Structure 1
Amino acid sequence: MESSANSNTNDGYQNILMMRHGDRMDRINPLWLDTASRPWDPPLVQDGLVRAFQTGQRIRSQIQFPIHRVFVSPFIRCVQTASEVVAALSAVDLNPNATSSKDVVSIDRSKLKVSIEFGLSEMLNSMAIKPKVAPKDGKFDFNISDLEAMFPEGMVDRNVDPVYKEMPQWEETVEGCTDRFLGLVKTLADKYPSENLLLVTHGEGVRTTFATYKDVDVYEVEYCACAELRRQILSQEGSAKAGDFEVITSLGQAGIKYHSSTTTGVTSVKWY
C-alpha cells in the first residue's frame, strides 16, 4: 500500500488487480474435450503460459506498488496463470527476454504469499459451463495440495482462512455470481487493508468488477486482462477507514472492451 504520513494520520491507497486466466486448451483445441477426464477444468496451452508470464512481467514493470498477496481460483487454468505471474513478480534480477517460469533461475520467496480461494471460481451454471461438460453430480472436485504444489515452496500461506470454505453451488444465478465476486473483493480487501492484492479468476469476475466500479457495459474480457481497482485507506489512532473503490485507467482497462455510458460508440483499450 502506498502511503504518506503526518502527525495524526497515515493516508494511503490499497490496490487490487482482478485478472483473467490465460488461453485455455478447449478453446484452442476443441478435440481435447473428446478424451479429457475433467472436461470442465481445461489447462492452459503453451501460448497461455507465455501470455501469463509476460503479463506478470508487465505488472512488475508498470505498476507503482508491490503485490503482497495472490488469491486464485482452484480451476487449473487459473492456478497455472497465477504460477506464471508469481514467477515473474518474484524472480530475482528478471531477464527481460524470459518467456516463462522455466527461464527463472532464482525466486525471492519473501516477495508475496499465495492462497487458493473457492470464491474466485468460474460462474457455476450452464451459461458458463455446458451441461454436457459439467460433472454429472454437479460437484467440482479439486486436489488443493496438488494445486498448491504448483507454486514455489514456502509461498503458499496455509494459515489463511478462505472466505468460501467450499465451491459455490451448481446452477447459481448470474445475480448470485455477481454478488459473490463483488462481495469477495470487498471482504478480501477489508481483511488485508494494508496489503495490495492480485486476484486471479475468470472472465466473469473481471467483467463484473470492472463494469460495476467503472459503470459501463463490458462486452469482452481478453485472456489475462486486468481490472485495476484502488481505494483510499485512512488510518488514525490504530483504526482504518476505507473509501470506495475506483477503476484506475493506467492498468484498469487492460484487455477489457466496453460500451461507455457517457459516450456513443465503443471504447476499447488493449494492453498488449
Structure 2
Amino acid sequence: MLRWLQLFRNCSVQPCHMQRNQVAGLRYLHTGKMDLRENQHPYTCQNVIVMRHSERLDNVEPSWISTATRPWDPPLTHSGRVLAFQTGQAIRKSLGFPVHRLFVSPFLRCVQTAAEIVIALSAINDAGESVSRDHTSVDTSKVKVSIENGLCEMLNTIAIRVNVAPEDGKFSFDISQLETIFPNGTVDNNNVEMVYKELPKWEESVSQASVRYQQTITNLADKYPTENLLLVTHGEGTQVALSSYTKDVVEHKVKYCGYVQLTRPIFKNDHSFVGGKFNLETHIGQNGVNYISSQEL
C-alpha cells in the first residue's frame, strides 16, 4: 500500500480533463476483479470532494418555518449563497485540479449551494473579484451537474424535526424545476442515471443512511473513474466520507460548506479501469472539517 501511495503521489500522467475524449470507449473494472502489480504506474489520479451544504435559512430565522409550504426543505440564507460561491472560488484556485462533474442532493439548500459552486468553477474570467454569482459569465462546458437521490438528507427524526416533517412521511422533489436553478447548459442531460432511483423511506436508520452515502460515493466514483467529482450533500454524508477512510474516528464536526477530499490512483488494464484505494487528503481542521481519532485520546 505504501508503494502504491508513493507511486500515486509521484504519478506524471495527463490531468483527467485532457483524457475524457481519449478514453470514452473504455470500461471501468472494480479493483477486486483483478490483481495489480505493486509497481504498476497509475494511468491517472481521481479526486472526489464530498461537501456539506451552506447556511440554511431556518437555523437563522426560525420563524420562517411557520409560513413555509415545505418547512422541511429550507433554502439558503444570503450569507449562505455568498459562502458557497466563495468556497467554489477557493476550490478552483487552491486544489490544483479541475472538477468535471458535480452531483447534488435534491434538497433545496444543497441545490442552491451547488449552483453557486458551479458558477464559481465555470466562471470565464476566474471571478476573482466577485462575491456572488451576479454578473458572472460561465463556460458551460467546464462542469456538468446532476441531481442524485442517494446524497439526500437522512430521512429520520434525527436530521429532520418532527414538527416540520410531512405527516404522511412522503418527501417529493420536482427535479425538472430544481434543475432550472443551475446555469443554462450545465445540467447533464445525457441520460445520467441516479444511483438511487428512489428516495429512502421515512425513518431510515442512521446505519442505513451511512450505507447509502457510502454506496453512492463509491458508485459515482466508479462510474466516472477518469473524472474528478464534487458531491454536495448533508452533514451526515460528509461525516460518512470522513469516517469511511479514517481509522477510529470517534468525533467529528463539519461546518457549512466544509468538505472532505478523497484521492485514489486509477490504473488501466486493456479496455478497463481499475481503481486503487481512496486516501483521505483532508487534515484535522482543514476545509471546515474537524475530527478526533481514538488514537489521539
TM-score (norm. length: structure 2):
0.84
Correspondence list, 1:1-272, <5 A: 4=13, 11-104=43-136, 106-158=137-189, 159-215=191-247, 216-249=249-282, 253-264=286-297
Q: Secondary structure at the match of 1:154?
A: coil
Alpha-carbon spacing, 1:125–1:210, altered in 2? closer, same or farther (3 Å): same
Q: How many matched pairs?
A: 261
SS in structure 2 at match of 1:206: helix
Secondary structure at 1:241's aligned position in 2?
strand
5+ long unaligned stretches in structure 1: 265-272
Task: Report the alpha carbon displacement of residue 140 of structure 1 after superposing the two structures with TM.
Answer: 0.9
Quote how far apart the aligned CAs of 1:99 are. 0.8
Distance in structure 2 (CA, Å) of the matches to 1:37 and 1:194: 41
Q: Distance in 2 between matches of 1:58 and 1:161?
A: 30
Structure 1 window deviating more from structure 2 (57-66 vs 93-102): it is 93-102
Supply the AA of the counterpart residue of 2:251: V
Distance 1:79 1:249, change over 3 A: same
C-alpha change, 1:252 and 1:232, in structure 2 (3 Å) is farther
Asked if structure 1 preserves the Cα contact closer than 8 Å seen for 2:284 and 2:291, the reply is: no
Structure 2 residue matching 1:249: 3-state secondary structure = coil
Given that residues 118 and 167 in structure 1 are in contact (C-alpha distance below 8 angstroms), is that contact kept between their aligned partners in structure 2? Answer: yes
Instruction: Give the structure-1-normalised TM-score.
Output: 0.91
Which range is displaced more, 198-207 or 88-97?
Answer: 88-97
Root-mean-square deviation (CA, aligned residues, Å) is: 1.8
Single out whichever of 183-192 and 251-260 deviates more from structure 2.
Answer: 251-260
5+ residue gaps, structure 2, are 1-10, 15-39
1:227, 1:251 within 8 Å by CA — same for their partners in 2? no
Q: Which stretch shifts more, 211-220 or 63-72?
A: 211-220
Give percent identity, aligned residues only. Answer: 51
Offset, 1:3? 5.6
Q: After the TM superposition, which parts of structure 1 deviate over 6 Å for at least 4 consecutive aligned residues?
A: none
